[in-house]
Chains A and B, each alone.
Chain A
């Protein structure tokens, strides 16, 4: 019974853990955070944590985190990363992350939700005292969405700590919680029974066994309540009452086989063997690997024997023996298959991981005889935890293998880039240096012209705006004049007048056209600035591309080497852990099969003995009948 309760509690808590947290923010500012949520909503915990870890690391690395888009979600991101770790069953890290949130300056509801998660974690890890201490820290406002789950957890923790009266009180307040329908009344029934209030507890089990919900979980807890109550009545020898309760269990639910078997016994104990045959005959046609079905294979001929139809009983015992022999072969094949390593291979089959009912499907797959007898074992908490670890390790193994190959590809890319760029870069750099000096020259010219234009606004200098032709003419006039006055000669009067006139024309043009020329010079200067700006952009783009070219193959060797070492180490560790975890799974499976084999052996002995006994009785009856005749 305790085991049953623990299983039920684990079921409720693990359901809570798997659906952990992560509501989307009202306005999503950081798309990479949204990506982590997308992965988490699909329970793809590894990718969700890896993405969020990367984002958080980058966020804290930037100079001004408040300008990073994750800044808007940072509290939630910190909370969610713990939540995702919980989903990924990294309890230690999740515990640290959640504690960090609790100790941080956060709102009361956020803090309380974090403590709730921490308490769930402790409870899930079978540390009820720590879980109790955690929930006791919850004070003030609790988010409404977790209120019922929190109360339910409080009750379960108290039950685990044997504080049944307090648990019952909390559970009494949860009887109207729709989401917990069936579970709250079932747990209340168990808590009351544990507290010593047997009658009241049974009343709640009875109430659970009559609820009208339609979803599969509610129906399952309803069946379970009926089965538990039925078995209690059987122990009390209240077979009539037990029969009524057991007949409430659905004929197609997960508890139907056991209920049919017990229902038959309830009749048999009252001497109603014809009626007992009804559920047992139904049960005897079901999947023969089920322990209840195997019992029914003996129970049916037993009932016929009690009805004095010994010959039929003997035939049915014979048929049971044949079936048991076949099952023996199956169990032996399963044991051999597990020893050959096929069980672990079957567990990691890719197509099964996609199916939520994969445990059931596994049994139906060909070439997996090792799984025929393990459905019940596979549903157990310990096996599930070990299996999840094994599957997680398998996922890590595949990832590490892929990453190792990726590193090869990265190195190949880098080598190709180096081979392409390295021969080109010296020539490009040479051209670049030439263009760079030209550009610097033009920039100096632009600056000088700008200075002059600015100065000319204050002190006009028409000579600065002379055309090239005008400068040549002025030079030529000066040269002619110099030649004529060489050696102290005097310039003839007519020539001097002509020179003056020419100078006058140049002067006239420069001064009368000054404004126009200044405006044009100003426009040309603006054009020059635009061109220089365009050139600067090209220059910057070139520098970036040049830098990117180098960066595309330089500076990776150290990182890749380090990653390769880390991956190699991790692969070795994963390999060893898989081996150990696999051994545990195989041992569990072998133990289960051995137990079932021993049980089957007992049945076989009993069937042989009973068959012989039935044949004797049948023969004796025939002789007696003949003698009567």
Chain B
């Protein structure tokens, strides 16, 4: 009876998380070597991704027709953004419902690339509808219309969202 008890007592000094002795079959060098190979393949795939990004942009969104819409939160805004809907010339082109992580990323100063598409040169109508909750907890909905002039180069616009207004910045 006392044998197993003393065995148990010995385990007291080893605390709960047993990172331990799993595996004579797996050496540290083996794991390290594999980890380095994983790093290498990550690097290779990132290079492929970068080239594919450029190919995709050239093929699907050539600069003479490209329009890109970005969404940012105006500095110091603490309201909860629930969703953004974007219409271009009356047609819905993007609708996004925000997760907590995405909202946090926007609040930290990140910018969301919400839409890329193709339009002809000339004037276009951009409609933005925002839904959210102000810091007091009340729901709000806001909608704005903007005119976007597409020239020969890519058209890049930023929608800066604040609880009171939506601003379009032409980039």
Contact = CB atoms under 8 A, between A and B. Distances in A.
Nearest to A354: B99
Contact of A563 (B11, B52, B102): B52
B19 to A, nearest CB: 4
A573 B37 CA distance: 9
B9 to A, nearest CB: 7
A433 interface: no
Contacts of B113: 31-32, 35, 38
A386 B31 contact: yes
Given A24-B108, A41-B104, A50-B49, A93 B39 contact: yes
B110 A385 contact: no
B109 A37 contact: yes
Contacts of A382: 19, 22, 31
Nearest to A393: B38
A399 B110 contact: no
Interface in B1-58: 1, 4-5, 7-9, 11-23, 25-26, 30-31, 34-39, 41-56, 58
Interface residues of B, number: 70
Nearest to A224: B15
B116 to A, nearest CB: 11
Contacts of A28: 72, 109, 111
Contact of B17 (A23, A295, A376, A552): A376
Interface in B88-143: 101-102, 104-106, 108-113, 121
A57 B51 CA distance: 10
Given A389-B38, A602-B4, A4 B46 contact: no
A592 interface: yes
Given A31-B158, A38-B111, A385-B35, A588 B23 contact: yes
Contact of B16 (A258, A410, A559): A258
Contacts of B109: 23-25, 28, 34, 37
B8 A295 contact: yes
Contacts of B21: 595
A383 B34 CA distance: 13
B28 to A, nearest CB: 9
A37 B110 contact: yes
B51 to A, nearest CB: 6
A389 B12 contact: no
A381 B119 CA distance: 51
B55 to A, nearest CB: 6
A461 to B, nearest CB: 42
A563 B47 CA distance: 10
A567 B1 CA distance: 62
Contacts of B14: 3
A387 to B, nearest CB: 12
B35 A544 contact: no
B12 A588 contact: no
Interface in A88-128: 88-93
B45 A399 contact: yes
A20 interface: no
A570 interface: yes
Contact of B19 (A7, A24, A231, A291): A7
Contacts of A308: none
Contact of B39 (A90, A258, A566): A90
Interface string A353-378: 00000000000000000000000110
A265 B49 contact: no
A327 interface: no
Nearest to A33: B111
Given A54-B54, A570-B44, A613 B12 contact: no
Given A37-B111, A580-B34, A581-B34, A573 B55 contact: no
| Interface of A: prevailing SS | helix
Given A3-B19, A570-B45, A406 B52 contact: yes
Given A406-B52, A606-B4, A389 B15 contact: no
B8 A392 contact: no
Contacts of A377: 18, 22
Contacts, number: 229
Nearest to B18: A376
Interface string A533-552: 00000000100110010011
Interface in A243-302: 254-255, 257-258, 261-262, 265, 291-292, 295, 298-299, 302
Contacts of B102: 38, 42
Nearest to B8: A295
Interface string A604-626: 00100010010000000000000
A389 to B, nearest CB: 5
Nearest to A32: B113
Nearest to A386: B31
Interface string B64-84: 110010101000000000000
Contacts of B34: 389, 577, 580-581, 584
B18 A35 contact: no
A396 B111 contact: no
A292 B9 CA distance: 11
A581 to B, nearest CB: 6
A567 B48 contact: yes
B164 interface: no
A58 B51 CA distance: 11
Interface string A290-330: 01100100110010010000000000000000000000000
Contacts of A413: 59-60
Contacts of A299: 8
A255 B45 contact: no
A548 B64 contact: yes
A403 B48 contact: yes
B38 A392 contact: yes
A574 interface: yes
B42 A54 contact: no
A489 interface: no
Interface of A: 1, 3-4, 6-7, 23-25, 28, 31-32, 34-35, 37-42, 46, 49-51, 53-54, 57-58, 69, 88-93, 224, 227-228, 231, 234-235, 254-255, 257-258, 261-262, 265, 291-292, 295, 298-299, 302, 305, 376-377, 379-383, 385-386, 389, 392-393, 396, 399-400, 403, 406, 410, 413-414, 541, 544-545, 548, 551-552, 556, 559-560, 563, 566-567, 570, 573-574, 577, 580-581, 584, 587-588, 591-592, 595, 602-603, 606, 610, 613
19 contacts: A7-B17, A31-B111, A34-B70, A37-B109, A38-B106, A41-B104, A42-B105, A50-B50, A92-B36, A227-B16, A379-B17, A392-B38, A413-B59, A414-B59, A552-B59, A577-B41, A581-B38, A603-B4, A606-B4
